[in-house]
Amino acid sequence: MAKNDMLGDSLWDAYSNKVTTLMNNPQHQGEIFQEEAEARGHKLIVADFGAESCGDAVRLYWEIDPKTDKIVDSKFKSFGCGTAIASSDVMTELCIGKTVQEAVKITNIDVEKALRDDPDTPAVPPQKMHCSVMAYDVIKKAAGLYLGVDSESFEEEIIVCECARVSLQTVKEVIRLNDLTTVEQITDYTKAGGFCKSCIKPGGHEEKEYYLVDILADVRREMDEEKMKAAADASVAGEANFEDMTLVQQIKAVDAVIDENVRQFLIMDGGNMEIIDIKKSDEYIDIYIRYLGACSGCASSSTGTLYAIESTLKEKLSPKIRVLPI
């Protein structure tokens, strides 16, 4: 059947020739029977897995030599779309000749890459990447049955992108190490979000616990907080120029000095203070504060207490500081 007889050019062209060939002519589809395996002194494992997102299902047969744990033969049955059949066929082929421990390391990306016509062109459109994920999951199921463990025990990390098998920790580390600021950059570095795109933000074809947009926002916020704290700590230690800081950094630095040197005494007397604003000019850096609690009505708030606060900030941060209560 010609390509144009089945699908439009743009959609059909998104599939590799290997995928379209295996859709109709899989090489490893079939069954392995218990009697046959036992006659050869081997153990038969039959694992089933279904994908709730699309209704596809696959059954995987492994004939294993128990003396070596090697998969000497493998077959599959697939109940679903043509992409699921092609993915299952390649997955089955990748298992043959490997030990169970080696096979469980096969990822969905290995399956997808094995379906490509050339290394740089994806074998299937993004929305079909879940088919290779299903192949990966049924391998874990079969390995768990053979080894007598829960299949989830093979998953040591929280997976954010099922298509590219990218973990939460990997995404966080890549953002931090490379100072990434966009989801597109995350995809460039990790391939997460580059296929079905469900992990990018809510509203995709599959609901996720973690989304790249949220992870990016959380990590960037943590990074900003760490930078501000480092700037404040450096300022207190005399390692940074207070006058060159951003407004937010200055407020953090002032708060750090107040917390370390002043605030506890105000609280002991039933009061406190907060920073309202900081304004810079060529001559002064004016810090506007508001007294809270007992301090707001205390006579020394505009004399001794004010002098102590201003003197401490001048010593720790900048001689240009003036403290102005409002």
Tell me the catalytic residues.
54, 131
Q: What angle do CA 316, 321, 323 make, to 5 degrees?
A: 105
16 in Cβ contact with 121 (< 8 Å): yes
CA distances 39 to 36, 42, 43, Å, are 5, 7, 10
What is the identity of the amino acid at 23? M
Q: Is 192 in contact with 171 (CB distance < 8 Å)?
A: yes
What are the percentages of helix, strand and coil residues in the chain, rounded to 5?
A: 50, 20, 35
3-state secondary structure at position 121: coil
What 3-state class would DSSP assign to 322? strand
DSSP string, 135-202: HHHHHHHHHHHHHTS-GGGG--S-EEETTTTEEHHHHHHHHHHHT--SHHHHHHHH-TTSSS-TTTST
CA-to-CA distance for 92 and 71, rounded, in angstroms?
10
Q: What are phi and psi of 117, to 5 degrees?
A: -80, -35
CA dihedral sign, ordered 64, 65, 68, 70 = negative
Which amino acid, residue 125? P
d(CA 36, CA 74): 13
